[in-house]
């Protein structure tokens, strides 16, 4: 019946995608983790560049 509406099982949308993946906590963790991964990528490239420069310096 129509007055049972709030107690129906979620047939089509089990959770609200926008609310689940664009909440403040999700966006904060996404921002922090992306900043961390970008920094680790930059540090890795920097170490790789220094290693290659040391190889070139040692070879010449």
Give the model confidence (pLDDT) of 2-47 as tens digits. 566 666 666 667 778 887 888 899 999 999 999 999 999 999 999 9
In the prediction, which pLDDT does 11 show? 66
In angstroms, the Cα distances linking 51 to 10, 18, 44, 57 are 56, 45, 10, 10
In the prediction, which pLDDT does 50 show? 96
In the prediction, which pLDDT does 10 show? 66
In the prediction, which pLDDT does 3 show? 60
**What count of Cα atoms within 13 Å lies in the side-chain half-sphere of residue 15?**
7
Task: Please give the Cα distance from 51 to 58 (Å, whole number).
Answer: 10
In the prediction, which pLDDT does 56 show? 93
In the prediction, which pLDDT does 16 show? 80
Asked if 26 and 20 count as a contact pair (C-beta separation under 8 A), the reply is yes
């Amino acid at each position: 019946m129509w007055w049972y509406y709030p107690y129906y099982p979620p047939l089509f949308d089990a959770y609200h995608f926008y609310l689940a993946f664009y909440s403040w906590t999700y966006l904060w963790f996404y921002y922090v983790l992306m900043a961390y991964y970008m920094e680790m990528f930059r540090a890795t490239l920097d170490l790789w560049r220094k290693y290659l420069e040391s190889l070139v310096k040692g070879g010449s």
